Amino acid sequence: MDYYGLLTLLTQPSLKIMTKMNKILQGSALEMLKELESQSINMCMTSPPYWALRDYGTASWEGGSEDCDHKVGRETRGGLSEFQKGSKGSFGDESIRTGEHCPKCNAKRIDNQLGLESTFDEYINKLCNIFDEVKRVLRDDGTCWVVIGDTYYGGGSYSDSGRAGFSGKDDDMWKRQFGDGKCLTCGKLCETQFCNRTCLNKQGNKFRSQNRLLPDKSLVMIPFRFAIEMVNRGWILRNTIIWYKPSCMPSSVKDRFTVDFEYLFFFSKKKNYYFETQYEKALEGSIERYKYGWDGNIDRNYPSGPQHHLNKHLGKPEVRKRLIELGRNKRTVWEINPKPFSEPHFAVYPEKLCETPIKAGCIKNGIVLDPFFGAGTTGVVALKQSKKFIGIELNKEYIEIANKRLKPYLEQRKLI
């Protein structure tokens, strides 16, 4: 039996965790993680909802009238402007925040989704609280891989506390939509009054946020704030990987460059952890330079190189053979095109993005956790690699999509 076979034998899951393997647990990530045993998971691969991007439609209502549609509408020059609370769509379309009440029937809005927080600090804190639980359920030799993107603060002078969903509206658009002079938050006239959440003081037919934390149009630096807080909470940051997208979505922006990458952070729980080295093809030129660029004279060939490293490695035939057969140790810029997805899910990362982390971080028949399961890509890749998964997802529609994608792979496993 080889090393990995022995490791698999010695790390068999408990009966309790086996009842949750290859299943999707519906609920908020924080609450569902509490149902998992400590040190029961081999690795985590996930991409949380990004801050201030969109409402995923998971809200429910407590109390009030069953007949109420919980819509807020007001007459403007363009007609009735309505906002459906809790519906899917852009973040800016959602007016009643979680914990607040419908102005028509006083029903309380309940929503456990991540990403609709009033400030980015609140978002980072909630997100890292979830990863505290991930850390608890990870084995001591476990790793955690997180794909996360950034956003821009506000959209000029007029924004709702810098929320990304209100960005990009020009002056004419604001005048057309809110020409009646009513507050964007509560729908009432409030030249000097405070809403129950934030103050948007009227200035002519426009509104200016009084709760600005960053300069408008600045990157919020969400990935870096997240990574720093994770390290502050005891995680070990091993790599910052760049997911480069050659065919990224085109952008109409004129005063900056188009963003064509996202971050993938590789964390470990402890200093010593399971990791299977991954290789990529070495360039032919590099192999040839290695072959012919060495004559035994360190000072002439590599005058600035670390002497102990050069003496130990360079010029050895076995090293060149390994370069040819296996390739070089994989680098940290991964060129992966986004893939189209036909189902109604907003942010599905491509299978190729999580293939390498799952190969590197999880033993055969190990368990891969995704607390933001979405359309189930992590589970699909885990099953393809003869590994197991546990998914957590709040949105019922996405669970249905994921189950449909997973079904053929789960049925195939039953036949083996």
Q: For residue 188, with 0-12 CB atoms within 10 Å meaning exposed, 13-18 middle and 19 or more buried, which class applies?
A: exposed
pLDDT at 342: 64
Condensed to tens digits (0 to 9), the pLDDT of residues 258-298 reads: 999 999 999 999 999 999 999 998 776 665 555 555 455 54
Condensed to tens digits (0 to 9), the pLDDT of residues 206-253 reads: 334 444 578 889 999 999 999 999 999 999 999 999 999 998 888 888
Condensed to tens digits (0 to 9), the pLDDT of residues 338-351 reads: 887 766 545 689 99
pLDDT at 382: 98
389 vs 374: CA distance, rounded Å: 13
Q: Strands 236-244 and 261-268: what pairing?
A: antiparallel
8 A C-beta contact, residue 130 and residue 85:
no
For the cut 70, the answer to whether the pLDDT of residue 414 exceeds it is: yes
pLDDT at 319: 63
pLDDT at 35: 96
For the cut 60, the answer to whether the pLDDT of residue 119 exceeds it is: yes
108-112, 293-297, 325-329, 367-371: which has the highest mean pLDDT? 367-371
**Average pLDDT of the residues in 384-401:** 96
- Residue matched to tokens 């997208």: 245
Mean pLDDT of the chain: 76
Condensed to tens digits (0 to 9), the pLDDT of residues 126-146 reads: 999 999 999 999 999 999 999
pLDDT at 130: 98
For residue 328, name the pLDDT band (cuts at 50, 70, 90).
confident
Condensed to tens digits (0 to 9), the pLDDT of residues 175-210 reads: 323 334 444 444 444 443 334 334 344 344 333 444
For the cut 60, the answer to whether the pLDDT of residue 21 exceeds it is: yes
Range from 6-20, 100-114, 295-309 carrying the lowest mean pLDDT:
295-309
pLDDT at 173: 30
186 vs 184: CA distance, rounded Å: 6
pLDDT at 193: 38
pLDDT at 290: 55
Which superfamily is assigned to 3-53+116-151+219-278+334-415 in CATH? Vaccinia Virus protein VP39 (3.40.50.150)
What SS3 class is residue 202? strand
pLDDT at 292: 52
**Bridge partners (DSSP) listed for residue 76:** 79
pLDDT at 97: 57
Sorted by where each begins, the domain ranges of the chain are 3-53+116-151+219-278+334-415, 57-113+159-209, 280-329
Phi-psi region of 270 (alpha: psi -120 to 50; beta: other; left: phi over 0): beta
Looking at the whole model, is its pTM more than 0.95? no
**Bridge partners (DSSP) listed for residue 138:** 41
For the cut 60, the answer to whether the pLDDT of residue 159 exceeds it is: no
For residue 103, name the pLDDT band (cuts at 50, 70, 90).
confident
pLDDT at 181: 42
Percent of the chain having pLDDT more than 70? 63
Phi-psi region of 32 (alpha: psi -120 to 50; beta: other; left: phi over 0): alpha
Percent of the chain having pLDDT more than 90? 46
- Residue matched to tokens 């940051």: 237
Q: CA nearest 53: which of 134, 168, 211?
A: 168
For the cut 60, the answer to whether the pLDDT of residue 24 exceeds it is: yes
